[in-house]
């Protein structure tokens, strides 16, 4: 068992605010007048953080008197969170929700716990449920989308393992589960069709193939070939979901832009969106489809706005720019510096400001020297090169977590 997993077992995976900032459960459930004073005292005791064990006993006594009153259960769930007992907290939130199906506090923390414990399919459902109960929480839509994509990616990895081990029935189940999340993804229907052929389910395979053809986007002046997306991996499909065409455009770009690099970073390293950011003023992203991703990478200092507060989304990225961004990301992910010797690059002297960043990405094998043996910091970066660099860094990060 690795150190990271042990840490997870010893403490809650959620970053909790001070108790004084926690929402009073009375906000989502009316407190009967006859117990109002007692409840207020108990809430004050929770906020003070003293004698939690005695407080839980008193909350249990209150529940015996008011069996359908859910706030005491929510407070007990809060206490379990601060103790670092996520499993017990989840149980209490589930009980509270069973008494009050509109308890948005319980739904929110159940969603956050599911996300934190990599139960992405469950998190997707809970975030959607919360936004239905509380439409003001539209701020959670990006996280719901990330959970949805991560859930799909997880199922597709499982499908790939099962298919590789010839457990075809199990692989089919995983593909169908993934399609229940992204039902209109043509490439995924095509993958399922291929599997059904292996399983000698010809009629079902034909139906899936037909569905894939019906869903495949057709653009004026552009003919899609049957093999166009053969290079997509299962991880690509899970990571990009219904945005797979965006991935194709980025990957085929002759020169990747700053906004496209922002998209790549957030898609490959979704966990960075949970880190503390320093909001930046950016004045020229109103019309960019990557506005959210740009705010994230700018807020984390991975790609800085220019001095005049513009981001210049369409500006091409140089190899030096990419090295700087990936080096910052390596540090943000707390990856250890490479022990490899400095790589000799005749066109990049140690006095160059980008030298340490370039050496960091070269040392981790995230970027390579070009054929003549130079780094070519001023050279443009193709979409394929940027995707390969992101995939290499993701592999390094995943290896470090094992």
Taking only the tens place, the pLDDT of each residue in 38-72 is: 999 999 999 999 899 999 999 999 999 888 999 99
Are 185 and 301 contained in the same domain?
A: no
Tokens linked to 76 = 């007990």
Averaged pLDDT for residues 331-343: 84
Whether residue 86 has pLDDT greater than 80: yes
124 occurs within a structural domain: no
138 occurs within a structural domain: no
Question: Are the C-beta atoms of 374 and 347 separated by less than 8 Å?
Answer: yes
Whether residue 315 has pLDDT greater than 60: yes
267 occurs within a structural domain: yes
SS3 92: helix
Are 160 and 83 contained in the same domain?
A: no
Are 389 and 296 contained in the same domain?
A: yes
155 occurs within a structural domain: yes
Instruction: Give the tens place of pLDDT for each residue, 117-133.
Output: 888 889 999 999 999 99
State the chain's mean pLDDT as an integer: 87
pLDDT of the residue at 76: 97
Are 219 and 268 contained in the same domain?
A: no
Residue % of the chain over a pLDDT of 70: 92
Q: Is 91 left (phi over 0), alpha (psi -120 to 50) or beta?
A: alpha
Averaged pLDDT for residues 10-26: 83
Which position has the higher pLDDT, 355 or 3?
Answer: 355
Instruction: Give the tens place of pLDDT for each residue, 143-184.
Output: 888 788 788 888 888 888 898 899 999 999 999 988 887 788
Whether residue 300 has pLDDT greater than 90: yes
From CA 89, how far away is CA 83, in angstroms rounded? 9
369 occurs within a structural domain: yes
State the total domains in the chain: 3
pLDDT of the residue at 345: 85
Confidence of residue 230 (pLDDT cuts 50, 70, 90): low
Averaged pLDDT for residues 21-46: 94
Are 229 and 342 contained in the same domain?
A: no
Averaged pLDDT for residues 1-22: 62
| Half-sphere exposure of residue 311: CA atoms within 13 angstroms, side-chain side | 31
Averaged pLDDT for residues 71-94: 96
Whether residue 253 has pLDDT greater than 80: yes
Are 231 and 267 contained in the same domain?
A: no
Q: Residue 298 phi/psi, 5° resolution?
A: -70, -45
From CA 356, how far away is CA 362, in angstroms rounded? 10
Averaged pLDDT for residues 221-227: 44
71 occurs within a structural domain: yes
Averaged pLDDT for residues 199-226: 74
pLDDT of the residue at 217: 60
Averaged pLDDT for residues 95-112: 96
Are 295 and 394 contained in the same domain?
A: yes
381 occurs within a structural domain: yes
pLDDT of the residue at 164: 87
Domain of residue 194 covers: 146-239
Domain of 182, CATH number, reads 1.25.40.10
Are 347 and 386 contained in the same domain?
A: yes
Which of 117, 135, 162 is where one domain is finished?
117
**257 strand-pairing partners:** 316
pLDDT of the residue at 1: 38
Confidence of residue 88 (pLDDT cuts 50, 70, 90): very high
């Amino acid at each position: 068992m690795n150190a990271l997993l042990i840490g997870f077992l010893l403490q809650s995976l959620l970053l909790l605010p001070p108790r004084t900032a926690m929402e009073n459960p009375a906000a989502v459930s009316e407190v009967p007048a006859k117990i109002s004073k007692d409840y207020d005292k108990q809430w004050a005791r929770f906020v003070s953080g003293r004698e939690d064990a005695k407080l839980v006993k008193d909350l249990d006594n209150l529940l015996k008197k008011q069996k359908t009153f859910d706030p005491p259960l929510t407070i007990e769930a809060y206490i379990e969170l601060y103790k670092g007992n996520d499993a017990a907290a989840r149980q209490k939130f589930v009980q509270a929700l069973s008494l009050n199906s509109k308890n948005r506090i319980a739904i929110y923390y159940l969603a956050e716990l599911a996300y934190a414990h990599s139960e992405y399919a469950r998190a997707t459902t809970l975030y959607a449920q919360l936004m239905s109960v509380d439409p003001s929480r539209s701020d959670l839509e990006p996280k719901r989308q990330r959970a949805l994509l991560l859930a799909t990616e997880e199922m597709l990895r499982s499908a790939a393992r099962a298919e590789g081990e010839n457990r075809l029935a199990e692989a089919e189940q995983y593909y169908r589960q993934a399609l229940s999340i992204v039902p209109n993804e043509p490439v995924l229907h095509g993958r399922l069709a291929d599997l059904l052929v292996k399983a000698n389910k010809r009629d079902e395979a034909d139906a899936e193939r037909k569905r894939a053809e019906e869903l495949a986007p057709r653009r004026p002046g552009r003919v899609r070939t049957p093999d166009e997306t053969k290079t997509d991996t299962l991880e690509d499909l899970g990571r990009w979901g219904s945005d797979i065409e965006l991935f194709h455009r980025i990957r085929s770009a002759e020169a990747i832009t700053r906004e496209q690099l922002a998209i790549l970073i957030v898609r490959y390293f979704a966990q960075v969106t949970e880190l503390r950011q320093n909001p930046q003023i950016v004045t020229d992203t109103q019309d960019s489809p990557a506005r959210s991703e740009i705010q994230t990478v700018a807020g984390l200092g991975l790609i800085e706005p220019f001095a005049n507060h513009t981001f210049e989304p369409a500006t091409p990225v140089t190899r030096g720019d990419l090295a700087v961004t990936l080096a910052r990301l390596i540090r943000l992910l707390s990856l250890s510096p490479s022990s490899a010797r400095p790589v000799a690059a005749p066109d990049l002297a140690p006095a160059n400001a980008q030298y340490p960043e370039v050496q960091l990405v070269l040392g981790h094998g995230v970027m390579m020297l070009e054929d003549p043996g130079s780094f070519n910091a001023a050279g443009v970066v193709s979409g394929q090169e940027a995707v390969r660099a992101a995939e290499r860094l993701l592999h390094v990060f995943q290896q470090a977590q094992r």
